[in-house]
Amino acid sequence: MAELRNDPASDWQRATCYLNGEWTALADAKVSVLDRGFIFGDGVYEVIAVDTVDGIRAPFHAHAHFARLQRSLDAVRIDNPLQVEQWLDLTAEVIERHLWPRQLVYVQITRGVAKRDHPFPAGVAPTVFVSTSPWPAIPSEQVEQGVAAVTHVDERWLHCDIKSTSLLGNVLMKQYAIDNAASETVMLRDGFLTEGSSTNISVIKDGVISTPPKSVQILPGITVDGIAHIAQQHGVHVDVRPITASELAIADEIWLCSSGREVLAIVSLDGAVVGSGKPGPMYRTMHEWFQQAKREDARNWVAQRRARSIETRASEGVT
């Protein structure tokens, strides 16, 4: 940490990371070419946003991320190598080891290293990797002006609810957006909205926020759940239901959201204007509520870490 100068542009290469129980320089960290993550994409991951609000640097929805990690691990039958509290300790440590006020913590677990063969290998320890990188501020232009999106048929597999490192389908869809001068690809399966290439999508009509139901077709996003929770706290109705392609065309507002992008308004879809062509009033309100919710979450994180430290000291006999 000593050599880091809080200069995200150059410092990230000197970052440190956790690999299988050891802290090592990110630039030197290596896994075997036989790692099943490399060979088969046989692994799962999480991305957790860290921001500094009211002087508190905290990861957001950390518990929810590790609950989803457990769900993904269960779905692919990899034993979770750590307890939730250990994951939270690791998250706190990787943040602490870096100076950046905004970070994206990355957690990946693969089925481990074995001779290339499709069946699960016996007696192999999972590979555990935790790193962090600077998280640039979300461009104010994107918040104020919104972003463009394009649509595409969802051609991915039917386990999109697992946060798997097998992301080729998502990568191709993100590149499709870039190739079409857009910021995101909104995917449709059988004429119904699924999600973005790396975001969840919500549609706003007549003051109601609608989001597709959780299913094997979409990732159960932490941010979209956060938005639903915030909306309900403020008395805004959230409708969880299948959304047709034609509803996208007549929406007042469309939002994308993820840990890394928070909430952004989609103001053009396939070149057609969405609503007024500017981030709408519901978006502006939600954006503000979202920032407030981050403040609350940061305070909770500090309280939880304090409780954890007291508990750890007590169990070690330190008074």
Tell the smallest beta-carbon distance from residue 198 to ligand PDD (Å): 4
Polymer length of the chain: 319
Q: Is 30 a catalytic residue?
A: no
Nearest to ligand PDD of 103, 258 (CB atom):
258
Tell the smallest beta-carbon distance from residue 91 to ligand PDD (Å): 15
Nearest to ligand PDD of 16, 223 (CB atom):
223
Whether the CB-CB separation of 29 and 17 falls below 8 Å is answered with: yes
Closest CA to 112 of 89, 81, 85: 81
Query: CA-CA distance, 134 to 98, in Å (whole number)?
Result: 9
Nearest to ligand PDD of 47, 238 (CB atom):
47
Residue 8, number of CB atoms within 10 A of its CB: 18
Give burial (CB, 10 Å; 0-12/13-18/19+) of 299: middle
Tell the smallest beta-carbon distance from residue 186 to ligand PDD (Å): 11
Tell the smallest beta-carbon distance from residue 70 to ligand PDD (Å): 14
Residues that bind ligand PDD (CB under 6 A): 47, 170, 195, 198-200, 219, 221-224, 258-260
Q: Which of 163, 205, 278, 294 is catalytic?
A: 163
Closest CA to 263 of 277, 279, 243, 247: 279
Nearest to ligand PDD of 91, 223 (CB atom):
223
Whether the CB-CB separation of 266 and 254 falls below 8 Å is answered with: yes
Tell the smallest beta-carbon distance from residue 147 to ligand PDD (Å): 15
- Which residues lie closer than 8 Å to 299 by C-beta, 6 or more apart? 54, 56
Where does the chain have alpha helices with state H? 8-11, 36-40, 62-76, 84-96, 140-145, 168-179, 222-233, 245-249, 281-315
Nearest to ligand PDD of 131, 258 (CB atom):
258
Query: CA-CA distance, 71 to 81, in Å (whole number)?
Result: 14
Active site residues: 163
